Amino acid sequence: MAFKALCIFIVCLRWCAVAHLRKIDITVKLAELELARRLGEVVSIDTVVATVAAHISSARSRLLSLPSKLAPALAIEDRAAECQELLESAICEVLTELGSGSFGEVPAPCLSHAPR
């Protein structure tokens, strides 16, 4: 009976040691995450969601404004190639503005259509 009690005690002791090591590991990871946050190496998901939403809203607004901006120039143009160039240039201008911030890189096809 004493041997069985000793075995149970050892198992419990081992379980407590593992739990304690896990707690230490979690504490260290949380401290590292907090340090990274303070150093600006990580941001909250809410911040990322808000930033992406703002960029999407800006892109939407800019793209929706293109028809009224381009309508006068397209109305007097009778060459399809020139209409296409006007559209590509305007779209790439919007994408270039959006890509010039911290949101991302400028798409490669737009590099040849940079605003003049």
Q: What is the pTM of this model?
A: 0.55
Domain span holding position 77: 43-116
Query: Do the Cβ atoms of 88 and 113 come closer than 8 Å?
Result: yes
Whether 34 and 9 share a structural domain? yes
Rounded to 10 degrees, the C-alpha dihedral 49/51/57/58 comes to -160
- Interval 12-50: pLDDT, tens: 999 999 999 999 999 999 999 999 989 989 888 998 899
Whether 15 and 52 share a structural domain? no
Q: What share of the chain is helix, strand, coil (3-state, %, to 5)?
A: 80, 0, 20
- Interval 52-105: pLDDT, tens: 888 888 888 888 999 999 999 999 988 999 999 999 999 888 888 877 764 454
What is the domain count for the chain?
2
Whether 48 and 35 share a structural domain? no
Whether 116 and 59 share a structural domain? yes
Whether 19 and 51 share a structural domain? no
Query: Do the Cβ atoms of 94 and 59 come closer than 8 Å?
Result: yes
